[in-house]
Amino acid sequence: MTVVPQPPYPLHESIRDRLHPEYVAFYNQFIINQQQVHYQPVTASRTSGILIPGGGPVVDVGKVEDISVKRSETEGPDIPVRVFTPPGERPENGWPVCLYFHGGGWVLGNINTENTVCSNVCLRGKCVVVTVDYRLAPEYPFPAAVHDCWEALLWLVSSATASALSIDTSKLLVAGSSAGGNLAAVMTHKALALSQGDSESHRPIRIVKQVLVVPVMDNTATVANNWSWREFEHTAALPAAKMMWYRNHYLPIETDRANPEASPLLYDDDDNWSKLAPAVIIVGELDVLRGEGETYAEKLQRAGVPVDLHLMQGMPHPFLAMDSVLQAGKTAITLFCEAALSAFY
């Protein structure tokens, strides 16, 4: 019988003195006694309240609208999306647009999870932001999330949607955090493949930038084969065991883990990497996922793709969602907003 560790969960000695004091103070006051998600049933984690404490408020934008997206290529229910529209008069050709995918290991999170990020990017990045409520594992394992996000992208770039949302789909940014960063990278590759193919049912998709925050890039990474998994095995917030818990739910068939649509780092070198969109990649210094994010940036750079890589000192995985208590969270959101502005204006 497996004994499940119970709170409190003090920071591991291998990482404690390397973490930023802001994070340590917040952790010891508000997180140390909270049950960790990989030690309880999925349903308990989904109903326990805020996914990651320490987030700032949603900012006011011009309009927020929830829409159900009909599918054009895959089977399944309609896909809920939320549309944030800036205040004021739209540009002559329509608002630039950001398609955003939330984090949560493909298991947790929903359309409300990262509204702080979405509303900030909408207001400060002067663009429409569309966030996708993709299906979650273990009920809907890989490739359900990929299918949902792809359907949302196809819907977004259709002429009917562009007219209804007053958007300019020639100015499209794709973004996400953690599992959402994984999905954003996959969408960027799939969009490029579509644009270079002979599809008659969909027009080409041009993505002008990708913003990937603490992304999952390699679902074959382990403590045995990846340096950051090994060095930060017992890090805060996302230790290796917790990442494996997410992976086992999303990718229960082990052979799927090397599929590039699960591990975008593993797309072949001849898959036109040089034609992918410029990237902003933000990683945490003490994140188990740091190595694969940096390797993805290096692979883009070797292909000649412009990459802005930012390393958040002293940070474990979830800093983006902790902007009310961590300066790194505020900085990451600002970098995201600046990336949108530089891509669109």
Q: Which residues are catalytic?
A: 178, 287, 317
Handedness of CA 258, 233, 333, 325 (dihedral sign): positive
State the pairing for strand pair 95-101/279-284: unpaired
Other CB atoms within 10 Å distance of the CB of residue 241: 14
Q: How far is CA 12 from the centre of its chain?
A: 26
CA distance 278 to 306: 5
- Which of 247, 41, 40 is closest to 142 using CA atoms? 247
- Residue 221 is encoded by which pair of tokens? 């990474």
Maximal C-alpha separation, the chain: 65
Q: Which helix (H) or strand (E) holds 308?
A: strand 307-312
Q: Which helix (H) or strand (E) holds 299?
A: helix 290-302
Q: Which amino acid is at 137?
A: A
Q: What's the half-sphere exposure (Cβ side, CA atoms, 13 Å) at 183? A: 33
- Beta-bridge partner residues of 84: 64, 129
